[in-house]
Amino acid sequence: MTQISVQFYALVLAILQMACIGFAHAADDTNKPVAFKLTTGIYQLTGAGLPAATGLDVNLRATGNFGNAWLGWYGSPSQDIKQVRAGWDSSYTVGPVRLMPSLQIASGGFVGGSAMVETGDTWFAGAGLGRTNLRNYANLNFDPNDAWMLSGGYRWADNRSLALQVVRDNRENPDQQNVHLVYRTPINGGDRLTVDLLQKKGLVAGLSIRGTGLSVAYDWPKYFVRVAWDPKVNFTPQDMLRLSVGARF
Residue 17 has pLDDT above 90, yes or no: no
Task: Mention every residue, 6+ apart, whose C-beta is less than 8 A from residue 51.
Answer: 78
Q: Residue 52 carries which DSSP code?
A: P
204, 213 Cβ separation under 8 angstroms: no
Instruction: Place 205 in a pLDDT band, splitting at 50, 70 and 90.
Output: confident
Residue 4: predicted pLDDT: 47
As to burial, measured by CB atoms within 10 angstroms (0-12 exposed, 13-18 middle, 19+ buried), residue 158 is: exposed
pLDDT digits (tens, 9 = 90+) for 38-92: 999 999 999 999 999 999 999 999 999 999 999 999 999 988 999 999 999 999 9
Residue 176 has pLDDT above 70, yes or no: yes
Q: Which CATH class is domain 3-248?
A: mainly beta
Rounded average pLDDT over 191-220:
96
| Distance (Å) of CA 79 to CA 184, 189, 231 | 34, 42, 18
**Segments making up each domain of the chain, as ranges:** 3-248
Give strand ranges (E) for the chain.
35-46, 53-64, 67-76, 81-89, 92-94, 97-106, 110-119, 123-132, 147-155, 161-169, 177-187, 191-204, 207-219, 223-230, 239-248
Return d(Cα 47, Cα 42) in angstroms, integer: 17
Residue 189: predicted pLDDT: 82
Return d(Cα 140, Cα 74) in angstroms, integer: 9
